[in-house]
Structure 1
Amino acid sequence: MLLMLGLCFLLFSAFPLAFSERCHPQDKKALLQLQKDLGNPYHIISWNAKEDCCEWFCCVKCDEKTNRVISVALSSPFPDTNLSAQIPPSVGDLPYLESLVFHKFPKLVGPIQPAIAKLTKLKYLDLSNNNLSGPIPDFFAQLKNLDDIDISFNNLSGPIPSSLGKLPKLAYLDLSRNKLTGSIPASFGSFQKPGPAIMLSKNQLSGRLPASLANLDSDRIDLSRNKLEGDASMLFGSNKRTWSLDLSRNNFAFDLSRVEIPHKTLARLDLNHNKIYGSLPVGLTKVEHFQLFDVSYNQLCGLIPKGGELQKIDKSLYSHNKCLCGSPLSPCNHKQMTV
């Protein structure tokens, strides 16, 4: 009997971690408080206090070496989920968090939680498809490790804070489908290269683009469906890495013939419903393949350059211009050639 007890003692001593939790007590406490603050939504999360939080089936990830919680990803599988709350302050009590997701909760309301400013290791922030309101907070600029910000599909209002331009590692910024007003900050021309993908569509932004955006080198820029005006030619450039540029449904007015096309990378160009004038630049013929090309509803004129894919594009995507001509449109007459 004594021998068996001795063997059991040795067994438990040799493998102490096999019978203890990986999860840090502070992290577990914060997560359980988060669950409580959200009203214990069992159809989304059902974290059990008796279990190791690093082993919870849903929504939590721990670092393999430190065992600290590095990811909380809450997403509703049901469009009519009844979770009705604000983002709880307890989310700020997870100091090692690198990824935070609250996605697709139509009854998640209120402002972006100030406690998020405490998450200095945060790299990925997804608060999209909720019903958040209020301004975009300046404290984002304190989170120097942020790589990805998606706060699209909310009811956020007010201006875009210029402090976002100070984020040194930002690679993706999606502020689309909100109620943002004002102009695009000049600080967006200060992003470290390569610049982040910038998605600002379907807001109420207005005014002229700052000249500093000539320094912006992003693979995707979407400014569509706003009230922006004036010159946007600085967004073009032969040496830029632009893959997709969408300026559609604004009031931009500039001479398209003077822009330099990033033909090595460009695949999507949408300029429809603006006041863009001049002729189509020959550089468009060097683009190997267009996934999208639309210059309709502008004031363009002259011969569509021959070559590349320009003659293969549906003629409706050239329609409602001042006097564009040539294949795939009607042949040019003398007046169109001399305008």
Structure 2
Amino acid sequence: MRSLLMMLGLCVLVLSPFPVAVSERCHPQDKKVLLRFKKELNNPYFLASWDPKEDCCDWYCVKCDDRNNRIYEVFLVSSFPDPNVTGQIPPSVGDLPYLEYLDFHKLPNLVGPIPTTITKLTKLKSLSITYTGLSGSIPEFLGQIKTLEYIALSFNSLSGSIPSSLSQLPNLGSLQLDRNKLTGPIPASFGSFKKPGPDLKLSHNQLSGTLPPSLGNLDPDNIDLSRNNLVGDASFLFGSKKKTQVLDLSRNAFSFDLSPVTFPKKTLIWFDINHNKIYGSLPVALTKVENLQQLNVSYNPQLKGQIPQGGELHRFDKYSFFHTKLCGSPLPPCPK
């Protein structure tokens, strides 16, 4: 009798004409914020899946944490430039308290500055705003978000100087500010980054002045300062005990003696100093670099002497050494 009653109860549940409410995973406050976020971007088709009738954990361009069902990632990323996302970065993004990753990519009509409300994101690890119409200066307040590990603001229209406050980020592993309109020097405070220091990608700007010698205390994997207006000494960036993989100083006005410089034997794969005022001779230590794939010392008219032979140097043609006073293979022989 008891089992019969249980079966009848199950049938009532299955056959009932009334819908059974299914609870959403998405936190209602996060859903409210995301809908406001969408409205602030003028309701682009890009976010058509953000339907208030649907569970926001199932929407495109967001991710929910399975442990607490809170939004931890927002990524408005297009594979080609999408002009339909318009306006400024919504200030409401600061009302997603569990957000760890924020990414805008190839949205040319996303304009204006970075909103101050972003400082409310006390869990934010990654901030990536690339190939957009972002303008204004890089805000000092980014230095307040101590959880940041990755900053990419490449291919925008940012201007002004690089804020020294970024050196206050204890966990920063990569700083990518290339292809903007940044001016002024690299902050002296950057030498105080927690070792090994972040990868620095600052190329294609209008940075000027000398490098702070304290940068030599750091040991990031990648340093790209190319295509700026930097001058003076950069020899302290080198060293046999460093783990540098990429060092690109090309198209600046650096001036220092290359002769005594040493290199990481195991890690260095890219070394480019073309179009500078670097002088001296090529160090024999270059022949000891085991995995060198890119070498360009051209257009340094005061570089002179014989090109060392050995190691990976045989891989590079004359264009790697062009417009210098160097001699020997692959250039013409040195005069006797």
Correspondence for 1:166 among 165, 168, 176: 168
| TM-score, structure 2 as length reference | 0.93
Maintained 8 Å contact 1:312/1:328: no
Question: What per-residue deviation string (whole Å, max 9, x for no partner) do you get for residues 135-179 of structure 1?
Answer: 101111111111111001111111101111111111111000011
Alpha-carbon shift at residue 2 of structure 1 (Å): 7.8
Maintained 8 Å contact 1:107/1:130: yes
Q: Does 1:252 align with 2:240?
A: no
Pick closer, same or farther for the CA change 1:328–1:125 going to 2, 3 Å.
Answer: same
Q: Which residue of 2 aligns with 1:33?
A: 36
Q: Which residue of 1 aligns with 2:112?
A: 110
CA distance in 2, matches of 1:255, 1:9: 88
CA distance in 1, matches of 2:332, 2:235: 28
Correspondence for 1:316 among 306, 315, 319: 319
Structure 1 gap ranges (5+): 12-16, 335-339
Question: What per-residue deviation string (whole Å, max 9, x for no partner) do you get for residues 2-46 of structure 1?
Answer: 8677547999xxxxx992111111100000111111111113443
Equivalent positions of 1:1-339 (< 5 A) are: 6-7=9-10, 19-56=22-59, 58-298=60-300, 299-321=302-324, 323-334=325-336
Pick closer, same or farther for the CA change 1:316–1:31 going to 2, 3 Å.
Answer: same
Pick closer, same or farther for the CA change 1:73–1:287 going to 2, 3 Å.
Answer: same
Pick closer, same or farther for the CA change 1:75–1:44 going to 2, 3 Å.
Answer: farther
Maintained 8 Å contact 2:45/2:84: no
Maintained 8 Å contact 2:267/2:291: no
CA distance in 1, matches of 2:146, 2:225: 25
Question: What per-residue deviation string (whole Å, max 9, x for no partner) do you get for residues 69-120 of structure 1?
Answer: 0000001244252322100111111000000011111111111111111111
Single out whichever of 119-128 and 76-85 deviates more from structure 2: 76-85
Length, aligned pairs only: 327
The percent of aligned pairs where both chains have the same amino acid is 65
Maintained 8 Å contact 1:44/1:75: no
CA distance in 2, matches of 1:46, 1:78: 19
3-state SS in 1 of match to 2:166: helix
CA distance in 2, matches of 1:77, 1:332: 51
CA distance in 1, matches of 2:284, 2:48: 56
Maintained 8 Å contact 2:276/2:299: yes
CA distance in 2, matches of 1:211, 1:172: 20
CA distance in 2, matches of 1:9, 1:65: 33
Maintained 8 Å contact 2:46/2:84: no
CA distance in 2, matches of 1:266, 1:45: 46
One-letter amino acid of the counterpart of residue 250, structure 2: S
Alpha-carbon shift at residue 286 of structure 1 (Å): 0.6
CA distance in 1, matches of 2:251, 2:39: 45
Maintained 8 Å contact 1:35/1:45: no
One-letter amino acid of the counterpart of residue 161, structure 2: P
Structure 2 gap ranges (5+): 15-19
Alpha-carbon shift at residue 327 of structure 1 (Å): 1.2
Alpha-carbon shift at residue 189 of structure 1 (Å): 1.2
Pick closer, same or farther for the CA change 1:90–1:325 going to 2, 3 Å.
Answer: same
Alpha-carbon shift at residue 182 of structure 1 (Å): 0.5
Maintained 8 Å contact 1:267/1:290: yes
